[in-house]
Amino acid sequence: MDKLRGRGYNQKAMADKNTTCTVLISREQIATAVGRLAEEISRDYHDRHPLLIAVLKGSFVFLADLVRLLDFPLEVDFIRLSSYGGGKESSGRVKVVHDLGAGIEGRHVLVVEDIVDTGLTISFLLDYLKKKGAASVKLCSLTDKPSRRQVPVGIDYLGFTVPDRFIVGYGIDWDEKFRYLPDICFVGED
Ligand code: 5GP
């Protein structure tokens, strides 16, 4: 465990012996950004009893940190979409693989996402939620990769703009690996 908490680590073989992970955004930077986002969201939603919908699985750590900084009534739900196979590229075909637990008609919905990349996944979801009759739908994303965008997406609350690198950690995986890293890292193959 100590090794994982080292700074600037360039770790070999945590799960794959030919993979290295390098810190892109530290846990301290993440904590500062989540605090800022919580303040922005609190200002806009403190009297709206919002429904926060986290996109599984990559957003679960972000959601958990975020909601603990929100000091007003809210609810959470989860949705799981698939657009990626086991690799690093989106297939572009999005489908719901685990739906919401209840209806969202008339609710103020805030989607909590880990990464907006091409934008295909989140465009699909925002559309899907609007069609279900939400009173409002806004987007909070921890990271944004604008250089890869294929469809326009408005991000209402944004943590970080990131370069065109494949990132992992802080809940974000590569083929189910690396979710447990406390920092956001990029992976490279030797
Ligand atoms: P999009 O449809 O915008 O291309 O893809 C969004 C989803 O793709 C994200 O929610 C995430 O699951 C996945 N994704 C995009 N870029 C990355 C990345 O750099 N790392 C990981 N682990 N997943 C990514």
| Residues with Cβ within 8 Å of residue 112, at least 6 apart in sequence | 52, 53, 54, 55, 59, 62, 63, 66, 140, 141
The tens place of each residue's pLDDT in the chain, 190 residues long, gives: 333 443 444 443 455 556 788 999 999 999 999 999 999 999 999 999 999 999 999 999 999 999 999 999 999 999 999 875 555 566 668 999 999 999 999 999 999 999 999 999 999 999 999 999 999 999 999 999 999 999 999 999 999 999 999 999 999 999 999 999 999 999 886 5
Q: Is residue 3 part of a domain?
A: no
Judged on CB neighbours under 10 Å (0-12, 13-18, 19+), 102 is exposed
| Domain total of the chain | 1
Looking at ligand 1, which residue's alpha carbon is closest to its atom 15?
117
Q: Is residue 171 part of a domain?
A: no
Q: Is residue 92 part of a domain?
A: yes
Q: Are 21 and 168 in contact (CB under 8 A)?
A: yes
Q: Is residue 189 part of a domain?
A: no
Q: Is residue 97 part of a domain?
A: yes
Q: Is the CB of 160 under 6 A from ligand 1?
A: no
Q: Is the CB of 172 under 6 A from ligand 1?
A: yes
**Which ligand 1 atom minimizes the distance to the CA of 59?**
10
Q: Is residue 158 part of a domain?
A: yes
User: Of the residues 117, 175, 183, 190, which is catalytic?
Assistant: 117
Report CA(72)–ligand 1 centroid distance (Å).
Answer: 30
178 φ/ψ angles, rounded to the nearest 5 degrees: 75, 0
User: Six-digit token pair at 182?
Assistant: 């406390």
Report CA(62)–ligand 1 centroid distance (Å).
Answer: 15
Report CA(143)–ligand 1 centroid distance (Å).
Answer: 10
Q: Is residue 131 part of a domain?
A: yes
Residue range of the domain that includes 151: 26-166
Identify whether 117 is a catalytic site residue: yes
CATH of the domain at 120: 3.40.50.2020
**For a substitution probing ligand 1, which of 83, 117, 161 has the most ligand atoms within 8 Å of its CB?**
117
Identify the residue whose tokens are 């809940």: 171
Q: Is residue 161 part of a domain?
A: yes
